Amino acid sequence: MSDQKKKSPSPQPGDMVEFPHGISYSHYGVAVGEGKVVHIGKEKPQMGIQSTVKKESLEKVAGKGGYRVNNQNGRGPPLPREEIVKRANARVGEKMYWTPFNNCETVASEIRHGDGKGHSNQAEKAAKNFLDKSTKAFDQFQGY
């Protein structure tokens, strides 16, 4: 078991769980109890590829990378834990297409915080980075 896993508190039902994969990407799911997590089932999502929402063991999803509780509490108050678990379990088996703004983090955030409140910090950072680089390239092209 990795040091990160040893240091991470066990997630409580309703917690949002982050599974780091390198420095630029993390996978997300929602703990539903009994060592299980609901998440989008493809670990390395590809744009436009259909994925399935699955319920799997926390250890299987974490693999060698570990996990941490990341409830994104700055997004406002979460729904009651029982409601979060109910919402997560209701999504199991759902088919969805992965896009930058409809990804594992967005789905987990929406389950935890409510419909229309899903958010992806990763997608926001990527979009900002793209805009910054595009603006810089455009300015250089224009001679600024």
Per-residue DSSP letter, 141? H
Q: What is the pTM of this model?
A: 0.73
pLDDT per position as a tens digit, 68-123? 999 987 778 899 999 999 999 999 998 887 666 578 888 899 899 887 545 555 54
pLDDT higher than threshold 80 for residue 54 = yes
Q: What average pLDDT does the structure give for the chain?
A: 77
Please, what are the domains in the chain?
3-142 (3.90.1720.10)
- Residues of the chain with pLDDT > 70, as a percent, come to 66
